Amino acid sequence: MNTVLITGCSSGFGVDIARYFLDRDWQVIATMRTPREDVLPTSERLRVLPLDITDPESIQHVVEAAGPIDVLVNNAGFGAASPVELTPMATARELFETNTFGTLAMTQAFVPQFRERGAGVIVNVTSSVTLKALPLVGVYSASKAAVNAFTASLAAEVEPFGVRVRLVLPGRSPETRFGDNARAHMHGMEHEAYAELVTSVLARMRDDSGPLTHSSDVAEAVWRAATDPSSPLRIPAGEDAVAWANAG
């Protein structure tokens, strides 16, 4: 029976990705900062482990506790919104520490077992905001674009060992806590120089009438990345993400 380890399973995409694999009879190791059994269905094939992807000791504990796995899904991350000029460096560092360095650290932790075994899949979940320039998410987008860059290089490096690497790029989803997290890290939104732009962008963010991404879209894309060797390196997830990818 195949085993998948998924980060960021306390809410949002991570929950539905875990459910999707459970429904297909996989062993699932769901990780989160503070373990919550109540967010996922009870199953003998489910293990919930604590994990802080910014803490090397926490990562090492998960590697040891998980044992051999077949697929690693790096889904954990958070969002922030503010003009680049007004983004505090502390927020920028936090974004890169979690979204970029945390994903890189998890990848480095599991590549050795995949390489030595000659099999395995790494799926890095980033964002469709990396496909086009959008205001107020510049630093967040940069943290995700960095993952896109090292993932593409990694894919070429480990392919000779029989290891596959894929990117899943979700669009905007009303079903996740991204908006709540981003609002908690908003800065400079009342600055008069950006007031008109902020008003316009926030109005578009609240508008759910156009194409959107649903958690099921992301779960399906991650499943395809994990199980279909013919899948492309970059897989947009959600109607809006697909449209952006095709336009680019």
Q: Which residues have a catalytic role annotated?
A: 140, 144
Residues whose CB is less than 8 angstroms from the CB of residue 228 and which lie 6 or more positions away in sequence, other chains included? none
Helix 12-23 and helix 215-227, axial crossing angle in degrees, nearest 10: 50
Q: Which two tokens stand for residue 163?
A: 């290891």
Tell me how far apart the alpha carbons of residues 218 and 16 are, in angstroms, rounded to a whole number. 8
Nearest to 98 by CA among 3, 185, 187: 185
Residues whose CB is less than 8 angstroms from the CB of residue 170 and which lie 6 or more positions away in sequence, other chains included? 13, 125, 127, 128, 213, 217, 218, 221, 236, 237, 238, 241
Tell me how far apart the alpha carbons of residues 69 and 121 are, in angstroms, rounded to a whole number. 9
If DSSP codes are grouped into helix, strand and coil, which group holds residue 28? strand
- The owner of tokens 């199953």 is 43
